[in-house]
């Protein structure tokens, strides 16, 4: 079971029946691209309820970092579940949570003493970061980047600016939140070339936003994705992160890296910001941290995480079973999976760059490790976004047994479990190649 195998028309009869029931009772706010109904999974292969096998390069939106139901993660979950399921770390103590905080203390991408706050999701990890930044700086302002995604609860939603539909109908947003252009080199917001770039895209933040809109001494934090996820798997030049660190340091503004999608080994390093040689003041993670169990972590410099008892907490946050899954996940990432992400990711990146020679519609291939984006354009000169074409290719990949997701308006995201083998990466590239060829794109 290491290859796709499609036996029924898609969706098959059992999938169709479940989708029909879902349509009557589940919130219509979810965005379902294509009709995949999961039954079980192993490694990077998933099986639907009709017995069709798919190669999973979506991983439940970059979550199943160690592959589906990794036996060692499952064993750690069972072991913890047999001892106790819950004891609220906000009121009592349990060792798995302490061990996990120690693990983050050791690996968070900045020096000095650290402390961690535990929650259940990416948005909650960011809410904690926003509240902590406000609390410790006694400032209210927040700056985020256009195209970013930080979550959908009201604090993080004010930072999110990926798609207008995510904000539409929920305003007004939290006051004091501003946005600046991101370091998107393929579509440089100030029309420059990466070769001569001095991160001029940050001129707006430094010379407009902090001059005309909010005084720097009222800004608590800048929140940035080291590699933009939902925005299209966009990788900035290192200068972007370096200059951002300089600006924030100069004004006593905290730098928060949202590593919810890019963190936990996906890029071949534990945190994507490590590729850029910059030390933030806080990181937030969720998604891949516990291989699929809900967990959010906000890790900050010790002097930053200085709020008093009662100021912030979560009943379920840092649940013991999620902590046990996270500890095993971290062990597996360190032992082999980050290395695999670098090796297989590098191999896949090269193969996709070859595909770019063959298919005019591929405008850009970018990424680190197993976080790879393929941007589709109608014309390589005008870079007109191939939006409907992208959706068609994602659907067609599904029909051929490959699960991928879109990112941004016109990129395909490759975010498989980090156990993906080279042979599976080759299969994924072949399917994308066939889908592009057959659709004559």
Site for ligand PLP, rule CB under 6 A: 61, 121-123, 126, 149-151, 225, 229-230, 258, 260-261, 286
What is the Rg, in whole angstroms, of the alpha carbon atoms belonging to the chain?
A: 21
Distance CA 172, CA 242 (A): 33
Closest distance between ligand PLP and the C-beta of residue 421, in Å? 25
Q: Which is nearer to ligand PLP, 133 or 361 (CB)?
A: 133
Q: Which is nearer to ligand PLP, 299 or 427 (CB)?
A: 299
Query: Nearest 5°: CA angle at 392, between 349 and 58?
Result: 45
Q: Which is nearer to ligand PLP, 261 or 298 (CB)?
A: 261
Q: Phi and psi dihedrals of 256, rounded to 5? A: -110, 120
Q: Which is nearer to ligand PLP, 287 or 400 (CB)?
A: 287
Q: Which is nearer to ligand PLP, 235 or 435 (CB)?
A: 235
CA-closest candidate to residue 284, choices 295, 270, 298, 300: 298
Closest distance between ligand PLP and the C-beta of residue 229, in Å? 4
Closest distance between ligand PLP and the C-beta of residue 152, in Å? 6
Closest distance between ligand PLP and the C-beta of residue 75, in Å? 25
CA distances from 400 to 21, 241, 396 (A): 25, 39, 6
CA distances from 214 to 25, 141, 145, 246 (A): 45, 8, 15, 18
Contact 312, 387 (CB under 8 A): no
Closest distance between ligand PLP and the C-beta of residue 125, in Å? 7
Closest distance between ligand PLP and the C-beta of residue 410, in Å? 18
- Tokens 């979810």 sit on residue: 30
Beta bridge partners of 412: 374, 406
Q: Which is nearer to ligand PLP, 115 or 266 (CB)?
A: 266
Query: Any alpha helices (H) in 251-337, and if so which ranges?
Result: 320-332
Distance of CA 23 to the CA centre of its chain: 27
């Amino acid at each position: 079971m290491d290859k796709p195998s499609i036996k029924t028309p898609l969706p098959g009869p059992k999938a169709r029946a479940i989708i029909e029931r879902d349509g009557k009772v589940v919130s219509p706010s979810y965005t379902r691209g294509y009709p995949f109904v999961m039954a079980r999974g192993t490694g990077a292969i998933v099986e639907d309820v009709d017995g069709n096998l798919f190669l999973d390069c979506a991983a439940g939106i970059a979550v199943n970092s160690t592959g589906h139901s990794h036996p060692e993660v499952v064993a750690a979950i069972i072991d913890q579940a047999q001892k106790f399921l819950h004891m609220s770390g906000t009121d009592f103590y349990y060792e798995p949570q302490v061990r996990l905080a120690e693990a983050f203390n050791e690996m968070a991408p900045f020096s000095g003493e650290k402390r961690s706050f535990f929650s259940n999701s990416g948005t909650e990890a960011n809410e904690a970061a926003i509240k902590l930044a406000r609390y410790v700086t006694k400032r209210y302002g927040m700056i985020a980047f256009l195209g970013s995604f930080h979550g959908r609860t009201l604090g993080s939603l004010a930072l999110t600016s990926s798609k207008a539909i995510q904000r539409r109908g929920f305003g007004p947003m939290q006051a004091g939140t501003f946005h600046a252009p991101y370091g998107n080199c393929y579509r440089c917001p100030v029309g420059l070339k990466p070769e001569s770039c001095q991160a001029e895209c940050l001129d707006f933040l430094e010379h407009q936003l902090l001059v005309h809109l909010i005084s720097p001494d009222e800004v608590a934090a800048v929140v940035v994705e080291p590699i933009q996820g939902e925005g299209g798997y966009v990788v900035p030049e290192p200068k972007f992160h370096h200059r951002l660190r300089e600006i924030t340091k100069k004004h006593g503004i905290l730098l928060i890296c949202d590593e919810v999608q890019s963190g936990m080994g996906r890029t071949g390093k534990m945190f994507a910001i490590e590729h850029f040689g910059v030390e933030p003041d806080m990181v937030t993670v969720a998604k891949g941290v516990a291989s699929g169990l809900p967990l959010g972590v906000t890790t900050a410099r010790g002097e930053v995480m200085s709020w008093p008892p009662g100021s912030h907490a979560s009943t379920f946050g840092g649940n013991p079973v999620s902590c046990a899954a996270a500890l095993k996940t971290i062990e597996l990432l360190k032992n082999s999976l980050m290395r695999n992400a670098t090796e297989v990711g590098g191999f896949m990146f090269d193969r996709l760059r070859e595909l770019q020679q063959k298919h005019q519609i591929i405008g850009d291939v970018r990424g680190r490790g197993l976080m790879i984006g393929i941007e589709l354009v109608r014309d390589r000169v005008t870079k007109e976004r191939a939006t409907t074409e992208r959706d068609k290719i994602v659907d067609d990949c599904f029909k051929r047994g490959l699960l991928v997701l879109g990112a941004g308006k016109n990129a395909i995201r490759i975010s498989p479990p980090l156990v993906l083998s080279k042979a599976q990466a080759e299969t994924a590239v072949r399917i994308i190649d066939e889908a592009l060829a057959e659709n004559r794109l």
